[in-house]
């Protein structure tokens, strides 16, 4: 069975400091992994995806994530937070051969001036 | 071009009533998904259409929920005998047809906020 755990419901960082949003997954077969961002009153937007190619994936707005099979993790990072990064972030897993995307419960990122 | 649109944006109904929620996907997208997002939670998969057929409806919570996509474009999510627990934001997403092990990017609509009184 597939599942995804976002380890922090809320993360606060100061502007200009690094961001780390943690995600662990469980999947029976080769997973595809995604990070989505949801800004207030806006639709979900894809940040990046991993689909069994390079384990370090670069996304939009300076975000990147590293797939670590041994740790079943797919943490999202950004070297320097910007005020506009404040939003809700969702880690998502999809197992090969299925159509079901399983979302985590989300991490709310707050960026302090 | 136009993104995924959903109507209505808000729907308030009374317990026991029937509701229909509409999704207009991006033109040319053959894959369509419905999700439900309750307050403080991530979106929960409901159903996936490839073309006109429901390829996976395992996420529908019970037989009060039904979805159709008769012409392979617009989809309607139908909820019978609504209950207060059905209150949530219902999201629709569309994508190009997934190929092999490489899923296509899903584009999400703004959602319909359903409130059951």
Cβ atoms of residues A36 and A101 within 8 Å:
no
Cα gap B32→B63, rounded to integer Å? 20
Does residue A52 surpass a pLDDT of 80? no
Q: Which residues of A touch B44 (CB under 8 A)?
A: 103
Mutate to test the interface with A, among B26, B90, B103, B110 (most CBs of A within 10 A): B103
Q: Classify residue B102 by its DSSP letter.
A: B
pLDDT one digit per residue (tens) for chain B, 117 residues: 589 999 999 999 999 999 999 999 999 999 999 999 999 899 999 999 999 998 899 999 999 999 999 998 999 999 999 999 999 999 999 998 776 556 778 999 999 999 999
pLDDT at A41: 78
Residue B84, phi then psi, degrees to nearest 5:
-60, -35
Angle at A46 between CA A42 and CA A51, to 5 degrees: 165
Cα gap B96→B27, rounded to integer Å = 10
Q: Is the pLDDT of residue A31 over 90?
A: no
Say whether B48 and A99 touch across the interface (CB within 8 A).
Answer: yes
- B91: closest CA of chain A, how far (Å): 9
Chain A residues in contact with B35 by the CB 8 A cut-off are 103
- Cα(A102)–Cα(A92) distance, integer angstroms: 5
Average pLDDT value over all residues in chain A: 92
pLDDT greater than 80 at residue A42: yes
Going from N- to C-terminal start, the domains of chain B cover 5-116
Query: Is the pLDDT reported for residue A22 higher than 70?
Result: yes
Q: What is the pLDDT of residues A53-98, one digit of tens each?
A: 788 999 999 999 999 989 999 999 999 999 999 999 999 998 777 7
For B47, the closest chain A residue by CA position comes to A100
Chain B interface, best mutation among A25, A31, A60, A101, by max B CB count within 10 A: A101
Per-residue pLDDT, B1 = 55
Which residues from chain A sit within 8 angstroms of residue B40, using beta carbons? 105-106
DSSP secondary-structure letter at B98?
Answer: P
Domain at B5-116, CATH class:
mainly beta
Phi and psi angles of residue A81, each rounded to the nearest 5 degrees, phi first: -75, 145
Q: Which two structure tokens, joined as six digits, stand for A109?
A: 């990122």
Domains and CATH numbers, chain A: 3-112 (2.60.40.10)
């Amino acid at each position: 069975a597939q599942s995804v755990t976002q380890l922090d419901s809320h993360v606060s960082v100061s502007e200009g400091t690094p961001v780390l949003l943690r995600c662990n997954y469980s999947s029976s077969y080769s997973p595809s992994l995604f990070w989505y961002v949801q800004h207030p009153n806006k639709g979900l937007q894809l940040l990046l995806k991993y689909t069994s190619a390079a384990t370090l994936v670069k996304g939009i707005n300076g975000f990147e994530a590293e797939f670590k099979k041994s740790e079943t993790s797919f943490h999202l990072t950004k070297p320097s937070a910007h005020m506009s990064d404040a939003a809700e972030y969702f880690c998502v897993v999809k197992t090969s051969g299925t159509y079901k995307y399983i979302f985590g419960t989300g991490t709310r990122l707050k960026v302090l001036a | 071009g136009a993104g995924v649109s959903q109507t209505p944006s808000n729907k308030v109904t009374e317990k026991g009533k029937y509701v229909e929620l509409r999704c207009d996907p991006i033109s040319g997208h053959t894959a369509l998904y419905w999700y439900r997002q309750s307050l403080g939670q991530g979106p929960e998969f409901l159903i996936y259409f490839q073309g006109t057929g429901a390829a996976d409806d395992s996420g529908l919570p019970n037989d009060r929920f039904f979805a159709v996509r008769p012409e392979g474009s617009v989809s309607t999510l139908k909820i019978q005998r609504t209950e207060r627990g059905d209150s949530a934001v219902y999201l629709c997403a569309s994508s190009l047809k997934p190929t092999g092990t490489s899923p296509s990017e899903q584009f999400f609509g703004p959602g319909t906020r359903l409130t059951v009184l």
